[in-house]
Chains A and B, each alone.
Chain A
C-alpha cells in the first residue's frame, strides 16, 4: 500500500440508467454468473444427470405400456420430457438467487448506482446456459435411443422455444427467491407448483386416456401447449397456434413476474 490513492471526483456518469447501460450491466452480471459456474462445475449436475436419467427411465418404463414399444413412444416422450426437464431446471434460479442474495456481495450491488434489475436479469441470463445444456443432452439422448424427428430445423426451433419458456418461468422462481426467507423454502414452493404442473400435462401420456375433469385441466395447462408445440415442430407439421400460445404465455409470465421480482428485490434493499 504505497502509491497514493487517486483524489475523489464527483461522478461523471449520470445516475439515470438508460436501456443500453441496463443491458450492459445485466451482461456483466451474467458474466459474473458464468465465472461462478466455471469455478463450481458441480452445480451443473442436475442439468447433466437428470436429462439422461429421466429420458432412459421414462422411455423404458412407459414405452411398452403407452405406445407398444420404446421407439414408437419416443416422438411423444422426448418433447414431453424436454419441456419437463428444462422447466424444472428453471427452479434452481430462485434457489441460487436466494443463496447469492444472502451473501455480503449483494449489499455492494445494491449500493452501486446501477439499474435495479441488472443483478436479477444477469443471474437469469447466466442460467440460459443450464437450459441449453439440459436441452442438448435430452435431444442427444433421444437421438441415441432411436428418436428420428422429421424436421431438423423444427427440432431446433422447438429447443429454442423450450429455452425461452424456461427462461420466462425462471422469473416466477426468481420472485419466490427474492421474497422467501431461505433457499430451502424456495425449493419447497417451486416443487409444489412444478410437480403437478409438469406431470398433469400431456408430456408423458396422451390426454384422451384421462378422465374428463383431468383432461380439462391438462388441456388448459400451459405446459401442454408447449409440449404440443415442440412435438409439432419436431414432426415438421407446424404447430403455429400452440407456438403462438406458448410464446404469448411466456411473455405474460415475464410481464407479470419480472416487475414483481424487481420490486421484491428493491424492498429488500
Chain B
C-alpha cells in the first residue's frame, strides 16, 4: 500500500485551559479529498495548523507522506500548500507581485516566477486584476488568489481551511470545480468546512470533529446513514412536548432531540423513509398535540451533531466562544 498523504495519531493542542484539539486521529489516502467537518471552535483550524507545521502539537504525532511534522518540518513544507481561512496574501501588493514574491521564495528565477504568476492568474480568471493592489479585490478574488499562491510549487498535498466560507453561491461553485480539478490531476486535498453539503459534494471521506475530537469518520453516505437521510422537525407548544416526543418515538423508532424556541419546542427526529411521516401527523392529532410547524429537512450539520454528540452545532459554538482563552488571544 502507498504511504498515506496524512497520518495523524492522538494530536493534542492545549491553549491555556482550553483543549482545542484533544486526541485527533486522521488517515488520508493520497489522491483523495478529505473533509473535516465541524462548527466554529471545534478544532479544525488548529488541527490543520499542526499538520502544516504552523503549530507544534502538545502531544501525538503526524506524518505527511511519511515525514514527521515536528522532526522534519522543512521537508513537510515542501510537500504542502496551505490556504488559510483569511487570505494569506499581501494587501498592499498587487496579485502579480504577490505570486512573484512567493515564486521567488520557492526558488524560481525572476522570469520563471513571472511566467508562473501569469499562468496561475489566467487559470484563476484574475488576469484583469493582476496589477491592482489587493485592497480592491472582492472576497472571492482574494480566496482564488490565495489558492493560486498555494499551487505555485505544485504541492502534492493541499490544505484548504474553510475555502468557501463567506463566498456567494456562484463563487463557491467555482471553488468546488477548482478543487475537483486539483484532485483529477493527482493532488490530495484536505479541506475543512462547516457545511455538510460541501463535504458531501467534494470529499471522499469525512471526519466530524467536535470539541477537539473526531466523533465520526466515514464516507458521506455512511455518515448520512447514521443520521437518517432526512429529518422531521415538529414544532409544538411546550406543554405538548412530552406527549409529542412519545408519539414520535413510537411512530419513527428514534428519540427526538428537542431545541427550545421562543414559542414552543422544536423536536427533530431522523427519518429513513417518508412513509411513516404521514402517520405521525394523524397520531399527533389523535394525541391532542397541536402542531405549530412541520418540516422535512435534509440532514444538516446540526443533525449530524445532534445524532453524534447529543448537542447542536450552535451550542458547541457558544460553549467554545465562552471559553476564557480563545486560541487567537494566546497566539497573539
Contacts and interface: CB of A to CB of B under 8 A. Distances in A.
Q: Do A and B form a real pair?
A: yes
Interface of A: 1-11, 13, 15-17, 21, 24-25, 28-29, 31-32, 35-36, 39-40, 102-114, 118, 181-182, 268-269
Contacts of B182: 5
Contacts of B332: 102, 181-182
Nearest to B90: A105
Contacts of B149: 108
Contacts of A15: 74-75, 77-78
Contacts, number: 121
Contact of B80 (A10, A104, A111, A269): A111
Given A5-B185, A112-B105, A11 B153 contact: yes
Interface of B: 52-55, 74-75, 77-82, 84, 86-93, 97, 101-102, 104-107, 119, 122-125, 133, 144, 149, 151, 153-156, 174, 177-178, 181-182, 185-187, 331-332
Contacts of A182: 332
Given A15-B77, A104-B87, A1 B123 contact: yes
Given A5-B182, A6-B185, A104-B86, A39 B77 contact: no
A5 B123 contact: yes
Contacts of A39: 92-93, 133
B199 to A, nearest CB: 22
A110 to B, nearest CB: 6
A6 B133 CA distance: 26
A9 B151 CA distance: 11
A40 B74 contact: no
A155 B81 CA distance: 50
A8 B174 contact: no
Contact of B123 (A3, A106, A110): A3
Contacts of A110: 53-54
Contacts of B151: 5
Contact of B105 (A1, A6, A28, A181): A28
B89 A104 contact: yes
A1 B106 contact: no
B69 to A, nearest CB: 11
Nearest to B154: A8
Contact of B101 (A7, A13, A32, A268): A32
B88 A108 contact: yes
Contacts of B104: 24-25, 28
